[in-house]
């Protein structure tokens, strides 16, 4: 009887999945916005209409994607809950193992780009749990859904869909074989397709760049991204600070990388206490987060904003910094200032 029930369940699931696929795949046909997109791809990049419409006839609407986009973990949680969830023992242990296994590659990328190995490692850890988070979505499904059924950011995701087609063509890859996150991020470092085309580099010197399977390419690509976004070798990312008095309040901002930059000397004179020596002339930005013990004050520096451009979330950047430092120190790395 149990076997019969299980068989009926599998049969119903198969029928549901098939009907859902048939239903959602049709959502990209006879869509005026898709037609405009196809015409542009034909005109600007030489794709054939037959190929484009064949892809869209098989592309499925990803019902979960817009839901996830409206509630990313970086924005709905406090720093205390985000840190507890993301910087857990499992991720840290994966990180230490990963760092030891890829120490040579990490240090090679550090030497070439000036980006610390532990920061590169921190990003890989936050993005894909050091390669242990499977990519469950077809990139074309996720990005097409957001490009044509998520009006708030349709223009951005249409550009990413264009880049996805170009990436598939450049690497001679079946577009349906490219897996991604719910938002269309690809590979070990979770680059959006346009960033793959712009920032992905080879760590081996090979013309073929593979950030999906090749860890050296992935590490080099992360370092290259941060370097081109303004990373300055030897400078800290951010520091948790103490405050006294109330003169510092005028320097607090909720938008660190668009905020009011002042010198460390100015912050010190306003009542900000740094836990270790930072040159007085260094530019910094003061911001707050809600920690486990209440409000925390942090000073962000230039390199904070380089990581912020990887993922524009204060919690994410703090997570990269903390995770990278913990993993690097436990793996025996020589760390740059935090």
Helix (H, G, I), strand (E, B) or coil at 249: helix
Confidence band, pLDDT 50/70/90 cuts, at residue 23: very low
Strands 238-243 and 283-291: unpaired
Confidence band, pLDDT 50/70/90 cuts, at residue 131: confident
Cα separation, 320 vs 124, in Å, equals: 9
With 90 as the cut, is the pLDDT of residue 208 above it?
no
Nearest partner of 314 among 294, 293, 335, 297, judged by Cα = 297
With 60 as the cut, is the pLDDT of residue 7 above it?
no
With 60 as the cut, is the pLDDT of residue 9 above it?
no
Cα separation, 188 vs 163, in Å, equals: 18
Work out the number of other CB atoms within 10 angstroms of the CB of residue 97.
14
Nearest partner of 82 among 279, 320, 258, judged by Cα = 320
Higher pLDDT among residues 17 and 128, named by residue: 128
pLDDT of residue 337: 46
Work out the number of other CB atoms within 10 angstroms of the CB of residue 260.
12
pLDDT of residue 83: 94
With 60 as the cut, is the pLDDT of residue 20 above it?
no
| 264 contacts 279 by C-beta, under 8 angstroms | yes
Mean pLDDT value across residues 309-337: 89
pLDDT of residue 62: 80
Helix (H, G, I), strand (E, B) or coil at 234: coil
Number of Cα atoms under 13 Å in the Cβ half of residue 330? 18
Percent of the chain with pLDDT over 90: 75
pLDDT of residue 335: 63
Cα separation, 179 vs 210, in Å, equals: 13
Nearest partner of 58 among 20, 30, 26, judged by Cα = 26
Confidence band, pLDDT 50/70/90 cuts, at residue 17: very low
Return the minimum-mean-pLDDT range out of 69-73, 108-112, 239-243, 277-281: 69-73
Q: What is the pTM of this model?
A: 0.86
pLDDT of residue 27: 85
| 228 contacts 308 by C-beta, under 8 angstroms | no
Cα separation, 274 vs 187, in Å, equals: 38
pLDDT one-digit tens code per residue, 77-87 = 899 999 999 99
Per-residue tokens: 64: 């979960």
């Amino acid at each position: 009887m149990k076997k019969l029930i299980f068989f009926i369940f599998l049969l119903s699931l198969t029928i549901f999945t098939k009907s859902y696929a048939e239903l959602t795949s049709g959502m990209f046909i006879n869509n005026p916005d898709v037609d405009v997109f196809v015409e542009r791809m034909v005109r600007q990049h030489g794709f054939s209409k037959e190929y484009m419409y064949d892809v869209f006839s098989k592309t499925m609407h990803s019902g979960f994607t817009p839901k996830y986009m409206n509630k990313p973990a970086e924005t709905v949680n406090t720093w205390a809950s985000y840190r507890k969830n993301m910087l857990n023992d499992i991720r840290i242990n994966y990180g230490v193992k990963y760092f030891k296994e890829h120490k040579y590659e990490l240090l090679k990328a550090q030497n070439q780009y000036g980006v610390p190995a532990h920061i590169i490692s921190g990003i890989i850890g936050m993005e894909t749990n050091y390669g242990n988070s499977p990519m469950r979505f077809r990139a074309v499904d996720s990005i097409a859904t957001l490009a044509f059924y998520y009006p708030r950011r349709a223009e951005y995701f249409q550009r990413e869909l264009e880049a996805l087609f170009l990436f598939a063509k450049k690497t001679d890859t079946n577009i349906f074989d490219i897996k991604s996150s719910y938002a269309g991020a690809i590979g070990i470092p979770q680059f959006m397709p346009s960033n793959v085309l712009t920032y992905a580099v080879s760590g081996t010197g090979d013309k073929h760049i593979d950030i999906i399977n090749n860890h050296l390419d992935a590490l080099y690509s992360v370092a290259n991204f941060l370097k081109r976004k303004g990373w300055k070798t030897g400078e800290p990312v951010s520091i948790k600070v103490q405050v006294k008095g109330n003169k510092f309040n005028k320097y607090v901002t909720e938008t660190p990388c668009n905020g009011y930059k002042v010198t460390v000397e100015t912050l010190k004179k306003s009542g900000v206490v740094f836990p270790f020596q930072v040159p007085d002339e260094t530019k910094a930005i003061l911001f707050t987060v809600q920690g486990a013990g209440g409000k925390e004050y942090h000073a962000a520096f230039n390199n904070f904003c380089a990581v912020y451009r990887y993922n524009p979330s204060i919690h994410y950047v703090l997570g990269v910094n903390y995770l990278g430092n913990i993993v690097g120190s436990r793996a025996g790395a020589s760390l740059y200032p935090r």
